[in-house]
């Protein structure tokens, strides 16, 4: 069974993963409304990944013989200033998630829960990719933001993204 402190932290993280999914759905809906279906697709796939993370953590809590503690999921912002603003918020959000995941890893070590530590390390690595991906997209806005073709290029590139369940057996 998980110790209470770790159960609380992992349950909170399940909630955060679902909040992340809500946030990306809100961004997807915003991009759709702006007519950028490809960018909307990128956010939609991101939301699907977040839901997969939430389910994966939920199942891990059960596997450890504990019961997840559920809480309200916060509402995401309903609008954004621009597509660039949405991606700036993606990076801010993922940095916040990284801190939260790192805190769980620290807690698992403090509690001598080596299995929990091994579990959460997958997410430590995942967050490096999440931040790098948001950073790469934002760099395009920094370097080519003045070029009106940027959004159309991104829209085409992002239309190709497909959801691949990172935990196919789950």
Residue 35 host element (H or E): none
Any contact of residue 56 with ligand OFO (CB under 6 A)? no
CB-wise, 48 or 144, nearer to ligand OFO? Answer: 48
Find the binding residues for ligand OFO in span 74-93 (CB under 6 A): none
CB-wise, 39 or 134, nearer to ligand OFO? Answer: 134
Residue 82: how many CA atoms within 13 Å on its side-chain side? 7
CB-wise, 84 or 100, nearer to ligand OFO? Answer: 100
CB-wise, 49 or 113, nearer to ligand OFO? Answer: 49
Any contact of residue 17 with ligand OFO (CB under 6 A)? yes
Any contact of residue 151 with ligand OFO (CB under 6 A)? no
Q: Which residues make up the interface to ligand OFO (CB under 6 A)?
A: 17, 20, 50, 53, 94, 97, 126, 130
């Amino acid at each position: 069974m998980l110790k209470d402190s770790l159960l609380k932290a992992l349950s909170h993280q399940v909630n955060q993963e679902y909040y992340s999914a809500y946030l990306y759905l809100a961004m997807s809906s915003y991009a759709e409304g702006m007519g950028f279906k490809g960018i909307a697709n990128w956010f939609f796939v991101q939301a699907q990944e977040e839901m997969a993370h939430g389910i994966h953590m939920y199942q891990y809590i059960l596997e450890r013989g504990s019961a997840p503690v559920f809480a309200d999921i916060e509402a995401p912002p309903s609008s954004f200033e621009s597509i660039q603003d949405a991606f700036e918020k993606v990076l801010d959000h993922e940095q916040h998630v990284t801190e939260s995941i790192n805190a769980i890893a620290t807690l698992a070590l403090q509690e001598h829960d080596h299995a929990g530590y091994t579990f959460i390390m997958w997410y430590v690595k995942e967050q490096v990719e999440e931040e790098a991906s948001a950073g790469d997209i934002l760099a395009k806005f920094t370097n080519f933001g003045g070029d009106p073709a940027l959004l159309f290029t991104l829209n085409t590139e992002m239309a190709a993204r497909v959801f691949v369940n990172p935990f196919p057996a789950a």
